[in-house]
Structure 1
Amino acid sequence: MISKVGQIMLYVNNQDEAAKFWTEKMGFSVISEEDNGQGMRWIQIAPSNEAATSIILHNKELIAKMAPELNLGTPSLMFFTENLDKLYNDLSNKNITVGEIVNMPSGRVFNFADSEENYFAVMEKNE
């Protein structure tokens, strides 16, 4: 039986720029960084060290060569926040592309783009 989602693979063109975006603009932390010494490098990031799920930043070009059968598209991720308006304003002030706040049956949502123009969504969710 599967007990939780452990890691999400995010294939990016520039790992260092992606890590900078997620840490400096989104407030994530680098949990670990690995390099096998043969060109395979990955960076594990998460909203906090205690997060149940983390994101692994992989080099898209290298993975495409190693495993051409993989779907390297950006996953459709939904993040949760307890204060949507504050996060929306913070991201806007950091010159991050944000979409309009939309009222959905499950709560208010907006999307944002990372430094490579991959889009992700955020929903207001009080835990």
Structure 2
Amino acid sequence: MINQVGQIMLYVNDQEAVLKFWTEKLGFSIISEADNGQGMRSIQIAPSKESGTSIVLQNKKIVQEMEPKLNLGTPSLIFYTDNLEALYQEYQDKNITVGDMVTIPGGKVFNFADCEENYFAVMEKINENE
């Protein structure tokens, strides 16, 4: 039985630029790095070192050469925050591309793009006990 999502693979063209985006602009931490010395480098990042799920940045070109049939598309990710309005303003202040803040049945949400124009969403986590 699966009991947790461990890692999400994010295949990127420029690992250094994407790493800089996630760590410097979004404040993610580097959890680990591995390099086989032949171009296969993976960088594990997460919102904090205590996060249960992490993102692993993989070199899209190298992975494509190793596994030509692998789907290298960007996964649809939704992140949670406790203060959506503050985060929205912070991302705008950091010149991160953001979409409009909208209300959906689950609450408020907005999307943002990384430096390779991959889009992700952020949603305000509503306390279900209230």
- The TM-score, its normalising length taken from structure 2, stands at 0.96
* Mapping for residues 84-99 of structure 1, pairs under 5 Å: 84-99=84-99
Q: Between the two proteins, what is the percent identity of the paired residues?
A: 67
Moved over 6 A (4+): none
Give, in whole Å, the separation in 2 of the partners of 1:82 and 1:70. 35
Tell me, yes or no, if the aligned pair for 2:107 and 2:126 is still in contact at 8 Å: no
1:116 positional shift: 0.3
Aligned length: 127
User: Gaps spanning 5+ residues in structure 2: where?
Assistant: none
Amino acid across the alignment from 1:74: T
CA RMSD of aligned residues (A): 0.7
In 2, distance between residues paired with 1:40 and 1:75?
Answer: 20
Distance in 2 separating the partners of 1:126 and 1:28: 22
**Residue 31 of structure 2 corresponds to residue 11 of structure 1:** no
For structure 1, the 5+ residue unaligned runs are: none
8 Å CA contact 1:81–1:126 kept in 2: the answer is no
Q: Is the 8 A contact 2:34 2:41 kept in 1?
A: yes
- The residue that corresponds to 1:66 in the other structure is 66
Query: 8 Å contact 2:80–2:123 — kept in the other structure?
Result: yes
How far apart are residue 39 of structure 1 and its match? 1.5
Q: Are residues 1:101 and 2:101 paired?
A: yes
